[in-house]
Chain A
C-alpha cells in the first residue's frame, strides 16, 4: 500500500509538468492542445540524441532539448495555430490532434518503434521505511518540485508571468492594460515547450523511449488538468498528484491493465459534478 502510494506520487509528479503546460496553453490560447503527448516524445528523443548518441550527460542534454523544444513550439504555433486563431477552440483542437500524429511519426521515422533508454548509470535502489525507491525516482521528484517552484515564482513574481495570468483571465482587458498578446503567446509556448521537454525526459527515464511514450500519458495529463481546473496552475499540480496516486492505488482492486480507465472515469465524474475543477472558476459566457 505504502509502496503503491509512493509509485503513484512519482507517476503524479511526472505528470505535473505536462499538466501545467496544458493548463497554461489552455488559459492563454483557450484550446486543449492534444499535441502535448507527441511534443514530449519529440523532446525526449532530442535529449536522447544528445545524451546517448553524442555522449552528453543527461542534464545538459535535457536543458538543450528544453530550449530547443521551447523554440520549436513558438515556430509550430506560428505555422499551425496562429493562422487558425480566429476560428475558435474546436478548430485549434483538431489541428493539435493532427499535429500530434505528425510529430509522433517524425519520431517513429527517425528512431523506429523499438524502445530505447537514456545512457545513465544504473544505481541500486534503496529503501526508506520499507518503501523501495530508486535514483531516477529521486531525480524525478527533485526536478519536478524545482520546476513547480520556478513556475510559481514566474507566474506570481515576474511581469511576464502576471501578464500570462492576465491574458488567461480576460484577453480584451489585457489589451487595454497595454499587454501585447502576441508576445505573451510566444512566451507561453516557450515555457510550455520547456515543461514538456523536461516531462518527456522524466517519462523516458521512468519507462523507456518509444514513439507513443508521450501520448500514453495524454489522458492522465488531461484528467489532471481538468481535475485541477483548466487554467489553474496550482490545480494542475494537485490534479496530477491525485490522478497519479488514485491510478496506482486502483491496481490494488482492479487488474493493472485497467489502470487507464481511472483517469477516464475521473474526467467523466469531474465534468458531471464539478466542471470547473477543484481550483478553476466557472466559465462565464460574455
Chain B
C-alpha cells in the first residue's frame, strides 16, 4: 500500500488482516502501519472494527488472514503474552487494571511478567514514575477503589513499566471527565516523547488528532482513508468522515 505520507520507518505493520468473532469477519483486509516514533490514531463509527483490529494486533484474537509484523518480524504465531515481551504493550478500554489487587501489586505484575526477566529495585523507573505522581501515594489502595481517571493512569503506568516499543491504547479517554481527558492526551504525548510509538483508537477524534501524526479512518472493517492528522483536523466535515452513519441515525 502506498502511503500519502511515508513515515520514517515502520515499526508495526498489518497487511491484509482479517479477524472477527464467530462466523463472520469484522475486519476485512486491513492494511495499516505505525511509523517509528509516531502517534497514529484510528477513528471510525461504532462497529467499524477499531477495537477488533487492536485486539488482533495484541494477540487476543487470532488473525484469520494477513500478516502482523513488528520491526519486520512476523508476529502472527506469537501468543498475547509473547507479543507483550516482544515489545507491544496494550491498554484495553475497560477492565484494564486488576481490581482486587493493590496499585503496587498491579505494577509488580507488570514489571514481573511483561519484561523478559528484567529486574529492578523499584517498580517504576524515575521517568515513568514522574509521569504518574499520584500513583505513588496510592500504592496500598485496591485498584478497584480508584476513580476512573486514576485507573486509566494506573493501566498506563503498568503498560510502561517495561519500556515497550509500541503502546496500543483502546479508547484511553472513554468515560473520563474533561479534566482527566486532557490529562490522558497530555500523557500520551509525553510517553511518545520518551520514544514509544503509539497506536490508539479514539472516539474523541479532535482531541486525539491534535496530538497525532497520522489518522486512519476505519469503516465497515476496511481502511477508508489514511491521512496526516493535521489535514483531517482541518476538514470542516470531520464529523461526516467518521460519524456519517451515526449522525444519520440521530435524526
Chain A residues near B (Cβ < 8 Å): 156, 159, 162-163, 165-166, 168-170, 172-180, 281, 286
Question: Which residue of B98, B113, B115 is within 8 Å of A169 (Cβ)?
Answer: B98
Interface residue? B217 (CB, 8 A): no
Distance of B175 from chain A, by nearest CB (Å): 15
- B84 contacts partner chain A, Cβ-Cβ < 8 Å: yes
**For B101, what are the chain A residues with a Cβ–Cβ distance below 8 Å?**
162, 165-166, 169
Question: B residues within 8 A CB of A165?
Answer: 98, 100-101, 105
A172 CB to nearest B CB, Å: 6
A178-B114 contact in complex given A162-B101, A166-B109, A172-B60, C-beta closer than 8 Å: yes
**B90, CB-defined interface residue at 8 Å:** yes
Residue pair B113, A178 in contact (C-beta under 8 Å): yes
**What is the distance, in angstroms, from A165's C-beta to the closest C-beta of chain B?**
6
How far, in angstroms, from A169 to B84 measured CA to CA in the complex?
A: 19
Shortest CB distance A223–B (Å): 22
Closest to B89 in A: A176
Assembled-state Cα–Cα distance A178/B97 (Å)? 13
Tell me whether A179 and B113 are in contact in the complex, defined as CB-CB below 8 angstroms, given that A162-B105, A162-B108, A172-B60 are known contacts.
yes
CB distance from A102 to the nearest CB of B (A): 33
CB distance from B166 to the nearest CB of A (A): 13
Contact (A170, B95) CB under 8 Å given A162-B101, A175-B60: yes
Q: Which residue of B lies closest to A181 (CB)?
A: B81
Q: Of all chain A residues, which has the CB nearest B105?
A: A162
Residues of B within 8 A of A (CB): 58-60, 79-81, 84-85, 89-90, 92, 95-101, 105, 108-110, 112-115, 144, 158
Q: What is the minimal beta-carbon distance from B93 to any residue of chain A, in angstroms?
A: 11
The dominant DSSP class at the A interface is helix
List residues of chain A with CB within 8 A of the CB of B95: 170, 172-173, 286
> With A162-B101, A169-B100 in contact, do A175 and B80 touch (Cβ < 8 Å)?
yes
Residues on A with beta carbons closer than 8 Å to the beta carbon of B58:
176
Complex contact B113–A159 (CB within 8 A): yes
Q: In the complex, A180 Cα to B100 Cα: how many Å? A: 19
Contact A163 B113 (CB under 8 A): yes
Q: What's the Cα separation between A229 and B190 when bound, in Å?
A: 42
Q: Complex Cα distance A286/B95, Å? A: 9
Our pick among B90, B99, B112, B115 for the contact of A162 (Cβ within 8 Å) is B112
Chain A: which residue is nearest B100 at the CB level? A169
Provide 20 A-B residue pairs closer than 8 Å at the C-beta atoms, listed in order of the A residue: A165-B98, A165-B101, A169-B98, A169-B101, A170-B98, A174-B98, A175-B59, A175-B79, A177-B109, A177-B114, A177-B158, A178-B81, A178-B85, A178-B110, A178-B113, A178-B115, A180-B79, A281-B99, A281-B100, A281-B144
